[in-house]
Structures are given as C-alpha cells and as structure tokens.
Amino acid sequence: MKIVTCVAIAVAVLAATAMAQTPTAAMPAKHSETVGEPSYEGRIEGDTIEECWTIPSLPFTDTGNTCAYINNYDETCPYDGSLSPDVVYCYSPPYHMCVSISLCDSYYDTKVYVYEDEWTSGNPLACNDDNSGCVDPPVSYTSWLEYVHMGAGHTYYIVVDGYGGDCGDYVLAVDEVELPDPCDVICVGVPEGEPTCYDGYDDYYNGGCSSLTWSYIPVSPGPIVVCGEGGVFAYGAVTYRDTDWYLIYPCGGVPISITVEAEFGVLFGFVEGVPDCTAPTFLSYALADACTPTTLTEYLPCSPIAVFVSTDSWDLEYVCGLEYSLTIEGYTEHCDPTPVESMSWGRVKSLYR
C-alpha cells in the first residue's frame, strides 16, 4: 500500500521516567524576536493561545526561557501530569505545507505540541515529549515533531512545554520540509485479523486497555511475525488511534525483542499492568519513522506483559489501513499461572471478531 503522509512524529500513552540534565553549554544569544520580560501582572506575551507569539514566516528560529511563564496546558505524549510553565507561538501558513518543529537544541526536558485553530485539550494535532532522532542535543529528552501537516486558512498554536515541572532555556526552530518518500511495507506472517478501522469504529478487537472490553491477542511462545494494520479515525467529536495489544506471559531472565516496520510513524513497546488494566505503564518503548525497521529488547519480569503497537500521534493523515510488520523473538517460555488450552492462531483470533 503506497500512501504519502505528512504526520507528526510523536509518542503516546503511558508513564515512564525522564530526568532533565544540566546544560552543557551556554545558550545562544537571543535575537530581536525572543520572548519578553514578565509584566507587572506576572504574565508575559506568549503565555496563552490568546496572546501567542506570532511566527511571521518560515524558516523561523527563536530562543527564550519558559521559567517566567505560567502552566496553562498539558498533553499526554506519552507523559501526563506536567506542571511545567509553557509558552505559545502561532503560525498561519500561506499554503498547505509540512513543517518540522524542533526543540532539539534546548537545555531542559522539553515537550512540544500543536493545536489547530483552537485549544483542544486531550486531542492535539501533534505532540512529542522525547525524540531520540535529535542529533547531539545539549541535554537528554528534548523534543522534535519532524512532520506536521498544516493547511492554508488555519492557525496553528505551537506550545513549548516541559516534562514534570521542568523549565529553562529553549531553542525553537520551525521549518518547511519536504514530504517523506512513499512507504510500502511487505509483511510475510500471520494476519492480525482485525477489520480495517473507519470513522465511528469501536476498537474492541484487540484494543487492550484502550478499549472498554480489555481485549488482547494472546501470543504463544516461539518466534512469530504478525501482519497488522494501524490508523487514526474519528468517533463522534473525538479522534482515536487503532491500538493493538498482544499479550505474552514471559518467565523472566531472558531478553525478548520486538521489531516493527510500519507504513506510518509508529510507537511500540512493552506495557505492564495488564490484562486487568490496573495502572498500565510502559516498561520501555520506541519510536520509528515510516518504513524504518526498529528493534526494542527488554528483560521482562515474570508477569503478563502487553506488546503495544500504534501510530505515534492522532493525526488524521494516518488513514486507516496502513500496514505494519511485528516480529516477536526470544519469548520461549510461557508462565501464565492459569493453565490455558492450546489453540491455533485461527482459534485465538476468532475470540475477538
């Protein structure tokens, strides 16, 4: 399937640990468009969407410090509960374009997200907390949205935020970028079997803790390749992702690897707190660009674990039906305390149709 997409590279979902580091070099000097000093009312321009800093044209670079601002916004990508102060920029593109929004060269644990036309809490157009694609960042855990689609006639609000309560010196770079090359994943393995999602779709098939039914696909020990689909769809006024959860029961002590190649920017990882969805949390996760095979290896505890696969954002540019390949290796022993009847993959899939 060949589809050209322009999407936000972002991560999504659950809590993990992130720590800011001390700056290793002095910040670049501010230029004439940098953030101003606090007003007597304790607020400064750019503190909210209503008083955003306007980006006149691209490319655009600005520096500033968020510590004097107020905490007004927060999004989960994948961490939530942030108390960090944030600053807002706004841009109205003259034509349809893809843009890169980078905080890679900032000096604290950053987060960045984008709203289209208005503040849509819990449903940003794009969001990223940590992007491992940043090249030689001054500190760890800086942010970068590599591809964000922006349409003429709209205004986009770019929020510079932080993880937890972190604040500090930031460098914001916004540039127009070319569309990525078309991507076509050829998967040879077991079909996931889920129907292709669509607007109004109820993701109960293997939606894991994202669904009301806590539905999973159990995976038997042994190497396996699963051919699945992902995408983003609207359900009423809310945008959802097709999240796929594969349940394993490792015995601990041996490394287990998952490799994903997808026709979309993908978020995948190991989630604990399943299958009863009590505080589901990423043990580890990875992000990958479209058509970029990426492997994550983890020594898992002896407990039920979900292998999670989804798009890395809620961007509707990720049309339903985009394909991915998931390979699970190193899962050699099953330690479910409850004996289960041996069954074929076809029988397993029939439980969730």
What's the pLDDT tens digit per position in 143-184? 999 989 999 999 999 999 999 999 999 999 999 998 767 789
The domains of the chain, with CATH numbers, are: 49-177 (2.60.120.380), 190-350 (2.60.120.510)
| Ramachandran area for residue 105 (φ above 0: left; ψ -120 to 50: alpha; else beta) | alpha
Find the farthest-apart pair of alpha carbons in the chain and give their distance in angstroms, rounded: 70
The whole-number pLDDT of residue 317 equals 83
- Rounded Cα distance, 326 and 294, in Å: 10
Which pLDDT does position 44 carry in this prediction? 67
Is the CB of residue 275 less than 8 Å from the CB of residue 18? no
The strand pair at 232-235 and 266-272 is best described as unpaired
Task: Please choose, from the candidates 321, 320, 266, 259, the residue with its C-alpha nearest in 3D space to the C-alpha of residue 290.
Answer: 266
pLDDT score at 109: 95
**pLDDT, tens digit, 9 for 90 and up, residues 222-272:** 999 999 999 999 998 888 999 999 999 999 989 999 999 999 999 999 999
- Residues lower than pLDDT 50 in the chain: 1-43, 339-353
0.85 cut: is pTM over it? no
Using CA atoms, how far apart are residues 50 and 337, in angstroms rounded to an integer? 55
* Residue labelled with tokens 């399937």: 1
Nearest Cα to Cα of residue 263 among 155, 184, 171, 157? 184
Contact yes or no for 100/143 (Cβ under 8 A): no
